[in-house]
Chain A
């Protein structure tokens, strides 16, 4: 392959990508317009937050992280969870999974974008972003866990962009991909996926002053919940792909992902139970956050409805996943997926970040209930994530089906 050919064909590939991102049926335009509108509401709220300061959030010096970091944590799990498609596809030679694995990798890309946005809106001085760029700023590596997070998240983003971009480009050219250019990266991405969520857990777990987080079980719990939400989200996504595109999705991947979830939902409940036992049976200062979370403390109970909703949803989804009826009904499976996504979103969001701060390090109880600004920004970022995911699929799927290819493009011109 000579260099000039890529100079010509790669821009054509990009041009195809751009045009396809803006082409579609009325339903596509309606969906994109809706997402853009929500994203703009979020952007506007963020602009206000920057101008007037983070007093527009409900965060305080007592509860200094809130909804943004909660969603960030959940987002990292979603990104890591997508690897549950990569493992069967590449390690166990599951061919049906292999056909759809790119959907998972694109989901990881969109989820990482969401995570990075949540970090940006949580920063008091995003204008100083360059201070954290290695080599230009003063990167406190390897001591600060946050610098590890910057490395692993951006690394994971680049890895997945490379894998997806390379495979799609080769398919576009109708050329067999060179294994040396993607197989090593795929295997690296499997380890990397585990690392992003472990590092995120260490971010909290390494703080001795916050007994609620200071647990060795945090990273395993994060991984288990990631392998609930990742598969759950992909199961729903694959059905949407099947419904709205001509891309073929077999039943095999959905079955495999359901099997994964059957294990991880129980594993998660077991680990949650272990944490609760250790905290409540021991008692004392280390159990106060758990007591506040589940039962309220000194008459303050802002988190109680949240956590019991999560518990109810997680238990119900675990039950549904093990019902024989769910094996025959996609409707029940979808319900189980939805419940577990919301359940985990609460459990490792509001149910994990906030109790780390309540009671505070001086054992004061200051509650936190997110403001409208925080909800708007949060909705805006998720809308942005769905925009990225929709566009990515809009570009990738026609390439995978062969509808968008260099040959077709030339034929069209002729």
Chain B
């Protein structure tokens, strides 16, 4: 511009400014070095779960095992059990016998390798006033002997909706419903936008606000790629009906831990299953039915 006296001095000042700016930028971004240390090109380029060939998936499973060994010092087996043909899982919970002990939430915490500091779990148990279904009058923060008089207990976990809002909203198809009805997340594909967390009406999803911390000896070593393997930082996770167990004929960890037998799990397509008997013979209701989510998780009462 015309009102500038000395163009040479000006240029050298500009160069000085640019150099200072660039070094300040480098300094500001320094913390990224620690972050990028954990990232490899192999992981960056990893394909979506559904696009991987058998060999590619096998390599990824090995990579996860190797990473767990490196980061956590634990030797684990990561498998990828597939949905069984002719099976659609359903879960029912007997509100008449649940005593609110939260053993299920604890078992979930251990089985699914949750972060130890936050005491995370996929199950949240609400203490409700007798005589109402109004969630507003329930609380998850209770610390007294259970069952308390005048109260009943409502454990809530992922309802594996048939018409799942979380699946609809995911911008990158990182979460989907499997043929056995279980809604899963590809933890290596999720971009961490948390739109699913906003969309879920049941508070079923959790985000990894930090890298999970678990002592090596406490890690559950039988792991599923789409279920209880230790999740990376910055991605969303959820209950998978313990698919690494249930797809191999075992019961979910929360059911095994329940001291009162309030939980019934099984194949909705099998007319002889206990879950079918419950649905056909008990008074059953689902949470927030009016939203049209069509849950596979049911609550029922004894006569």
A125 near B197 with CB under 8 A, answer no
| Inter-chain residue pair count (beta carbon < 8 A) | 180
Contact residues in B for A285 (Cβ distance below 8 Å): 134-136
Q: Tell me what chain B mostly uses at the interface: helix, strand, loop, or mixed.
A: loop
Tier of interface size on chain B: 35 or more
Are A51 and B32 touching (Cβ within 8 A)? yes
With A123-B193, A129-B191, A363-B136 known to touch, is A139 a contact of B206 (CB < 8 Å)? Answer: no
Output the nearest chain B residue to A131 by Cβ-Cβ distance. B172
* A135 smallest CB distance to B (angstroms): 13
Chain B 84-103: CB-based contact to A (< 8 A → 1; otherwise 0):
00000000000000000000
Q: Is the CB of A124 within 8 A of B235?
A: yes
* Chain B residues with a Cβ under 8 A of chain A: 1, 3-4, 14, 17, 21, 24-25, 27-32, 34-35, 39, 44, 48, 51, 124, 126, 134-136, 138-140, 156, 165, 168-174, 189-195, 197-203, 205-211, 232-236, 288, 291-293
Contacts of B3 in A (CB 8 A): 25
- Central interface residue in B28, B32, B126, by most chain A CB within 10 Å: B28
Residues of A292-325 at the interface with B, using a CB-CB cut-off of 8 Å, are none
Contact (Cβ within 8 A) A132 B138: no
Asked if B156 and A362 sit within 8 Å, CB to CB, the answer is yes
| CB <8 Å contact, A137 and B210 | no
Which one, B21, B124, B165, contacts A36 given CB within 8 A? B21
How long is the Cα–Cα vector from A131 to B207 in the complex, in angstroms?
A: 18
Interface size class of A (residues with CB under 8 A): 35 or more
User: Are A61's CB and B171's CB within 8 A?
Assistant: no
Task: Give chain A interface residues in 104-144, CB to chain B under 8 Å.
Answer: 119, 122-129, 131-132, 137-140, 143-144
Residue pair B31, A124 in contact (C-beta under 8 Å): no
Q: Are A127 and B203 in contact (CB under 8 A)?
A: no
Any B CB within 8 A of the CB of A89 = no
CB of A53 within 8 A of CB of B198, answer no
Instruction: Tell me how far the C-beta of B25 lies from the nearest C-beta in chain A, rounded to whole angstroms.
Output: 6
CA separation between A203 and B196, bound complex, in Å?
11
Contact partners of A364 in chain B: CB under 8 A: 139-140, 203
Contact A362 B28, CB 8 Å, known A64-B194, A123-B193 = no
Q: A358: CB under 8 A from chain B? A: no
- The complex places the Cα of A137 from the Cα of B172 at a distance, in Å, of 7
Chain A hits for B28, CB < 8 A: 40-41, 43-44, 47
Contact between A61 and B233, CB atoms less than 8 A apart: no
CA of A47 to CA of B29, assembled, Å:
6
A48 and B29 CA atoms in complex are apart in Å by 8
- A residues less than 8 Å from B39 (CB atoms): 127
The reply to whether A207 and B194 form a contact with Cβ atoms under 8 Å apart is no
Given contact pairs A29-B17, A124-B208, A362-B138, a sample of 4 additional A-B residue pairs in the complex whose CB atoms are under 8 Å apart? A43-B29, A44-B28, A53-B233, A61-B206
Q: Which chain B residues border A90 with CB–CB below 8 Å?
A: none
Whose C-beta in chain A lies nearest to the C-beta of B166? Answer: A209
Q: Which residues of A contact B (CB under 8 A)?
A: 22-25, 29, 33, 36-37, 40-41, 43-44, 47-48, 50-55, 57, 59-62, 64-65, 119, 122-129, 131-132, 137-140, 143-147, 150, 203-204, 207-210, 285, 288, 356-357, 359-364
Q: Are A40 and B200 in contact (CB under 8 A)?
A: no
Contact B165 A207, beta carbon cutoff 8 Å: yes
Query: How far, in whole Å, are A223 and B234 apart by their CA atoms in the complex?
Result: 33
Q: Say yes or no: A362 contacts B197, CB within 8 Å.
A: no
Which single residue of chain A is at the shortest CB-CB distance from B169?
A: A144
Chain A residues with Cβ under 8 A from B140's Cβ?
362, 364
Name 26 interchain pairs, CB-CB below 8 A, sorted by A: A24-B1, A29-B17, A51-B34, A54-B207, A60-B209, A61-B197, A61-B203, A64-B194, A65-B198, A123-B192, A124-B207, A125-B191, A127-B39, A128-B190, A128-B191, A128-B192, A140-B172, A144-B168, A209-B200, A285-B134, A285-B136, A361-B203, A362-B126, A362-B138, A362-B156, A363-B136
Cβ-defined contact, A53 with B171, below 8 A: no
- In the complex, what residues of B have CB within 8 A of residue A124's CB? 190-194, 207-208, 233-236
User: B173, A140: Cβ atoms under 8 Å?
Assistant: yes
Chain A contacts for B293, CB-based, 8 A:
208
Q: Which of B27, B191, B195 contacts A131 (CB under 8 A)?
A: B191
Also in contact, A144 and B134, with CB within 8 A (given A47-B32, A127-B39): no
B31: chain A residues at CB < 8 Å are 44, 47-48, 50-52
In this complex, what residue of A is CB-closest to B39? A127
